[in-house]
Every structure is written in C-alpha cells, then in structure tokens.
Amino acid sequence: RLFRISDAIFKLIINIKKYDILILQVYGNFSFYYEDIISFISKASGKKIIFTIHGGSFGEFFDRKKSWVQRVLSRADVITVPSEFMFNNLESRGVKS
C-alpha cells in the first residue's frame, strides 16, 4: 500500500501539468489517506477535482472522522455517487453530490 501511494504521488507530481481535472474514486478507511494527499497536491496546483464516493460504509467512516472527511471533500469541485443510497447517505450528513 505504501509503495502504491508513493508511486502515485511521484507520478502526479511529475505529470501534474498534463492534467486539468483529477477524478478520484473515494472509498474511505485506509485509502482515504491516499485520497487526501492526492487531492491536496492537485488542489494546491490549481486543478479541478471530481470525487466519486463509493462504499456502503462510507457514512460510518464519515461519522468517525467527520472533520477530516469534510476537509478533504471540501476540495472537490464536484462530488458524484453511483447510487441513490449513497446520495441519501451523504445528503443526510450535509454533503452535496
């Protein structure tokens, strides 16, 4: 996992000028560290960010790590979800998707 994160960060930094928009698949738990770092670098570089949030347990993760999740999600220009369940789940927590 650590290698994957390091590799992705390195590739993003090297290639950041090639991208206008970053699309991240968001799952929560351990992968959220990756999503946090990648979205931070991208937003600091002036890139647009689209998050697609997955996972039925994301709501519980949100509740456990509310301030962190809100901070990361606030970087998104657009948040999408693959289902009405996720839409309602996030909407009940004040997240616009």
Q: In this structure, are residues 80 and 52 in contact, taking their beta carbons and an 8 Å threshold? A: yes
| Distance in angstroms (rounded) separating the CA atoms of residues 55 and 15 | 29
Q: Has residue 97 been placed in a domain?
A: no
Domain total of the chain:
1
Q: What is the mean pLDDT of residues 7-23?
A: 91
User: The pTM is what?
Assistant: 0.87
pLDDT at 84 over 80: yes
More confidently predicted of 56 and 71: 71
- Structural domain boundaries, residue 43: 2-12+21-91
Q: Which two tokens stand for residue 42?
A: 């991208």
In 3D space, the residue among 37, 36, 28 whose CA is nearest the CA of residue 9 turns out to be 37
User: What percentage of the chain reaches a pLDDT higher than 70?
Assistant: 99
74-83: pLDDT as tens digits: 999 999 999 9
Quick check: is 96 in a domain? no
